[in-house]
Every structure is written in structure tokens, then in C-alpha cells.
Chain A
Amino acid sequence: MDGSPSAAGPAGPGSPDHEDGSRRGPAHGVLSGLSLRVRYLVRRAEHAPPPPGPFRPGFWRSPLRGPWLTSVFGLVLLIGIPLMFVTGMLSYASYNPDLGRLNDQTPGKGVLGFYLFAWPTHPYWLYRLTQGVHVTLGVVLVPVLLAKLWSVIPKLFTWPPARSLAHALERLSLLLLVGGVIFEFVTGIVNIQLFYVFPGSFYTLHFYGAWVFIAAFVVHVCLKVGRMVGALRSRSLMAELRTPLARTRPEPPDPDGLVPADPAPPTMTRRGVLAMVGGGSLLLLLVTAGQSIGGLLRNTALLAPHNREPGSGPNGFQINKTAASVGVTPAHVGPDWRLEIHGAGPAHVFTRAQLLAMPQHTASLPIACVEGWSTTDQLWSGLRLADLAALAGLPDAGSVLVESVQPPGPYASVLLRGNQIRDPRSLLALRVNGADLSLDHGFPARIIVPANPGVNNTKWVRRLTFRSWP
């Protein structure tokens, strides 16, 4: 039965309880009086019968609920969630938010940006990997998360609602944990489908939400990891995988009250539950991962947002935002288009023909989006950013401001860092896969930098301003 505190401690409310009247100051007396009163109320609530329905121990009847099953799902999340947190924080760093406001959607981050570093350009597929893992793993963990929450639902209706101050605080932390994890999964999953229903900027909500969630997650792990290890040791996974329905029994009663007091006959084995949940994850992996792997596998991502090529030919690969969707028209990039280059000396102005007449370089690089999808390597050709920096009189430029003809909006201009400028594969691309860039891929000229998040590879570039400082 559900009688002991969920907070592990040397003594709980069930321990013998006698008043110690010696050596108390006045403040202590007040506290003690208060504590007595609280304990009296708790005692009364404990002796009062719980309200009917889910608060009664007999309400929850699944014979499979128990610490072992919960711990199996918990272990998967204990591996998956930190991986998602780390890849998420890397994604924030990859925008180089410390370069300036243009790159930073959360300028008020304060100490939460303590770990930021210059995002590297090696290996060139770094962002493709980290963000592909972040998004795909998030989708794949949904069934495990649902199963974990299902397995502990009786705890939501625990009676009395708070047995002690410790229990009350822990339950408040659990609200942040459950609210936080669902908030993070939902905002992430609807954002990759461009379903912008959340209250504010995705970056702000998902970034600060992640910190709220992880604070509660760390507490939860600290308080429960011992119990998880114990529960996992209580049964052998291999034995469970061989146990048929006829021999499926409830776990022995546990102090947390997960095991039902009045179990129904089982309709499913534990291996059946694990197979169903694992099957759900596998199915989601199959219909999602192809959008990050690309090539022929893209077609297997049946339900993923970027599962088909929008066109054919050299410019047929994935588009994040078409020209039309951000208000770029052919008139913006017609014969009057010029590229301005600013730096230490006087400004330079070039037509596209002049740019094409300069020595061209090539680089084979993917487009990788914060939404998790990416393309295989495309063969870009154009001018090295390092050469343009030298042309501007700043061969050791610390940063460059890239401005697009795109009307003002998010990522119409971005800042790139010195290490990105100096990588010989970083280009102001004019052509891709042997053809001129299409309008949707940034004609007349776009940025392409190894390992850079997609939106920082600015399209329809009109001005580059090299600066000596980062």
C-alpha cells in the first residue's frame, strides 16, 4: 500500500514521533508549534478516507505497473534526455549568439550562456549530426515518454496530496518536470512542422523551457537513481523477455504504490509492453530519420516534413524558406543587383558577372537545418570568404556582417566569426552542382559555411561588412 513517503530519508512520517521539549528558543517554539499543527492536519488527512476514484488505491489495476517497468523506461530516458539536452545546447552555441544580437534570439540569457564557445567548422557535418540526433531522438522518444508517464500515473493521485514539506516540494518539482518535458517535446515537435501555435518565439520558449525542465530533471534523477538501480536489479530482463502471459505476475508491493493493491488479470506480458513501446519508437524512427540522412532514404521518411525533394536537377534539393515565403522577388535580384563589400578601405561594388570572372573555388557541403532535416553534400562554387576579407583589407577579420536583400525579419542578416571566414571551404556561392543558384536557393549569391546551421547560411546576399573584432 501507499503509506510511506516518496522522499528517501532516514526517517519519514511513519517513524516514531515524540516531542523533545528541551532547549528551545522562542522562534523555534513557533516553528515547532507550526510543525505540530501541520503534522496534526496531515495525520487527520491520512486517517480520513481518500476521495473516491483515482485517489483510492484500488482504482489503478494494471498488473504490469511497478518499479521495474518504470525503471526500464526511466533508464532509456536517462540516456536519451541528457543527449537531447547536450545537442540542444550545442545547437544554441552553433548560432554563435555571443557575436551579437542578430545571432541571438535570447539576449537576456545571462549565465545560461556560460558554456558558449566559437562554433567550429570541422568536421563539416557536425551540425548535421548533432541537430539530426536532437530532433530524431526527440521524435523517437515520444512512445517511451508516454509509457513512463503511464507507468507512474497513480502517483499523481497520491493521498494525502502532501505528507510533509519535503513531499510537497518534491511534488512541485515533479509538476515542473512533467510540465517541462511535455512543453519541450510539444514545442519542438510542432516547430519542425512549422505549426507555430506556441506563445512566442520558438527559440526563447524552447531554450528557457529546457533549463526549467533540466533543473527538475536533475533533482528527479538525484532522488530516484538509487531506486531505479534497485528496481532494475530486482528482475532479470532476459527472464522477463521469456515470460509468457500465463506466468506474468504483478511485481511485489513497493513503497511508492506503483504496484496495484487489487491487480486485474494481465492482458499483456511485460515483454509485450516493451515490444509495443519499442516498436512505436522504431516505427517513428523509420518514418522520420530519412529526412536527416538524405539520398534514397529520404523517401522512407513517410511522415517527416522534408521527405521529398521539392524539385529535380542541380537545384532540386531541400529548401528551408522559399524566396516567395520571405518576400524576395525576382525584382530584388535583377540586373540592378550589386554586391557591396565593406572593410578597412573604401567599399567595393560588384555585379554578378564581375564576381563570376574572379577565381572560383568549390566546396562540397550539406545544408543542415535546426528543424533536424538536412541534405547530402552539394557541390557549391563561388568566392572564398577569406579572399573577400583580404579584398576588404581585413585578412584577419574577426567577424563579418552578412546582409540579405530579404525584407527585415529573423535571419535577414547574420554575423559569422573569424574561424568561419578563414575556412577555405567557406564560400559566397554563386553556383551549385554545376548550375546557377535558383532563386529559392539564394540567387544571385549566398553564404555556405561548413557545420553552420542552415539559417546562418544567408541567401540573396547584398552586403558583406568585414570587421576586425569578433
Chain B
Amino acid sequence: MSRFVRWYGSSPLHLLVLIASFALTGYAMVRLFALRPLGVVLWFVGAAVVHDLILLPLYSLVDRSAQAVLRHRAPRMPCPPWINHLRVPAFLSGVLLLVWFPLVFALSRPYPEATGLPIDVYLGRWLALTAVLFLASAVAFAVRLRRLRHTDGAGEGRPAPGHGAGP
């Protein structure tokens, strides 16, 4: 037993569960790859690659850049944490686009004829939702800014209030 663990790196149960899983995977994959194996492999591995090595680094980079660029614009007056007022509406608008981009960009050619519905409404709706999200965030930021400066003006010398971030 301990020799097996040293050789394999985990308990025999670990190996048994994985082998059972791979057997089922193999059974389904033979059928999945029956028609267009190359296309399916590209989609399967591509799905993980596009997310892990393109989408995730891209949005992380955008987030870091926004923080880096705007950090240098030092506010002349006290300012509550602002990054989430940018991050949250961008995230919300982004997931809407990520899910519904084929309709938003009218990429789905069969849609109008199949459903009897025009496809050109989606871009405007997504833009309007995006505008509402950023506007709501801006209003919330303005309210916090005003409240902060009020307290600052009223209580000179008092320590700045601890402010929570987040939406």
C-alpha cells in the first residue's frame, strides 16, 4: 500500500475513481468525435484555452491597466474608492455581452427568418443597458463623494471614515 502510494502519488481509490471517469469519458468521446474529430477537439481544447489564456488574462489586464492609469491622477480632494464604480458596471455589461453577443452583433443569420422577429433591436438594448449601469454607478459615486466631502467639511481634523468598497 505505502509502496503504491509512493509510486503513484495518492491512494488507490484516487486511481480507481479516475480510471472509472476516463472510461466513461472515452465511451462518450468515441461518439463525440465520430463525425468531425478535428473540429470537436479544437472546440473542446479551444474552449479551455480561449478562456484561460485569452479571456481571463485580457480582463485582468484591463482591470490592472484601469487601476494603474487612474491611480496617477491624484485627486485634489478626498475621494472614496472608485475602482469598483468602474469595475462593477463593466463586469455586468460584459457578462450580458458575453452571453448574448450573437444577437447583439446580429451574427445569427437564420434568426430573423426562423422566428419572424427582427434581430436589429439587440445592439441598441445592450447599449442602453450598459448606459443605465454606468449611469447608476456614477450616481452612486456622486452620492458617496458628496457625503464624504460633507463629513470632511463638517468635521475637520477627524479621521476619515472607513469606507467599504463594493456595489
Report chain A residues within 8 Å CB of B52.
Answer: 149, 153, 156, 178
Residues of chain A from 184 to 241 with CB closer than 8 A to chain B in the complex: 186-187, 189-190, 193-196, 198-201, 204-205, 208-209, 211-212, 215-216, 218-219, 222-223
C-alpha gap A318/B80 in the complex (Å): 48
Among B10, B18, B35, B47, contact of A8 (Cβ-Cβ < 8 Å):
B10
Question: Quick check: is A111 within 8 A (CB to CB) of the other chain?
Answer: yes
A9 and B14 contacting across the interface, CB-CB below 8 Å: yes
* Shortest beta-carbon distance from A59 to chain B in Å: 11
Report chain A residues within 8 Å CB of B114.
Answer: 194, 319-322, 325
Question: Quick check: is A7 within 8 A (CB to CB) of the other chain?
Answer: yes
C-alpha gap A190/B111 in the complex (Å): 12
C-alpha gap A245/B104 in the complex (Å): 36
B5 and A11 contacting across the interface, CB-CB below 8 Å: yes
Closest chain B residue, CB of each to CB of A282: B92
Q: Mark A17-31, 1 if CB is under 8 A from B, else 0.
A: 100100000000001
Closest chain B residue, CB of each to CB of A111: B27
Closest chain A residue, CB of each to CB of B166: A272
* Shortest beta-carbon distance from B99 to chain A in Å: 6
C-alpha gap A322/B98 in the complex (Å): 28
Report chain A residues within 8 Å CB of B165.
Answer: 244-245, 266-269, 272
Report chain B residues within 8 Å CB of A143.
Answer: 91, 95
Question: Quick check: is B117 within 8 A (CB to CB) of the other chain?
Answer: yes
* Shortest beta-carbon distance from B52 to chain A in Å: 6
B48 and A311 contacting across the interface, CB-CB below 8 Å: no
C-alpha gap A35/B7 in the complex (Å): 6
Closest chain B residue, CB of each to CB of A157: B52
C-alpha gap A8/B9 in the complex (Å): 9
C-alpha gap A319/B112 in the complex (Å): 11
* Shortest beta-carbon distance from A264 to chain B in Å: 10
Question: Quick check: is A122 within 8 A (CB to CB) of the other chain?
Answer: no
Question: Quick check: is B87 within 8 A (CB to CB) of the other chain?
Answer: yes
Question: Quick check: is A106 within 8 A (CB to CB) of the other chain?
Answer: yes
B5 and A183 contacting across the interface, CB-CB below 8 Å: no
A7 and B9 contacting across the interface, CB-CB below 8 Å: yes
Question: Quick check: is B162 within 8 A (CB to CB) of the other chain?
Answer: yes
Report chain B residues within 8 Å CB of A267.
Answer: 67, 81, 83-84, 165
C-alpha gap A194/B122 in the complex (Å): 14
* Shortest beta-carbon distance from B166 to chain A in Å: 2
C-alpha gap A271/B167 in the complex (Å): 9
Known: A194-B114, A287-B96. A200 touches B40 (CB 8 A): yes
Question: Quick check: is A348 within 8 A (CB to CB) of the other chain?
Answer: no
C-alpha gap A9/B11 in the complex (Å): 5
A153 and B56 contacting across the interface, CB-CB below 8 Å: yes
Residues of chain A from 144 to 192 with CB closer than 8 A to chain B in the complex: 146, 149-150, 153, 156, 163-167, 169-170, 172-173, 175-176, 178-180, 182-183, 186-187, 189-190
C-alpha gap A180/B95 in the complex (Å): 20
A200 and B39 contacting across the interface, CB-CB below 8 Å: yes
Report chain B residues within 8 Å CB of A17.
Answer: 6
Report chain B residues within 8 Å CB of A414.
Answer: none
A178 and B102 contacting across the interface, CB-CB below 8 Å: no
Among B10, B51, B116, B125, contact of A440 (Cβ-Cβ < 8 Å):
B116
Among B28, B56, B102, contact of A195 (Cβ-Cβ < 8 Å):
B102
C-alpha gap A110/B30 in the complex (Å): 11
Known: A108-B34, A279-B88, A440-B116. A179 touches B10 (CB 8 A): no
Among A173, A196, A283, contact of B110 (Cβ-Cβ < 8 Å):
A196
B7 and A31 contacting across the interface, CB-CB below 8 Å: yes
**Chain B: residues with CB nearer than 8 A to chain A?**
2-3, 5-11, 14-15, 17-18, 21-22, 24-25, 27-29, 31-32, 34-36, 39-40, 42-45, 47-48, 50-52, 56, 67, 81, 83-84, 87-88, 91-92, 95-96, 98-100, 102-104, 107-108, 110-111, 113-117, 121-122, 125-126, 129, 162-167
Given A245-B165, A272-B166, A279-B167, 15 more pairs with CB closer than 8 A: A17-B6, A108-B34, A146-B98, A170-B18, A178-B48, A178-B52, A179-B44, A182-B48, A186-B47, A190-B102, A193-B103, A195-B108, A205-B32, A218-B21, A280-B91
Query: 16 A-B Cβ contacts within 8 A?
Result: A17-B6, A143-B91, A170-B14, A172-B22, A179-B48, A183-B44, A195-B111, A208-B28, A212-B25, A244-B165, A245-B81, A268-B165, A272-B166, A275-B166, A319-B114, A325-B113
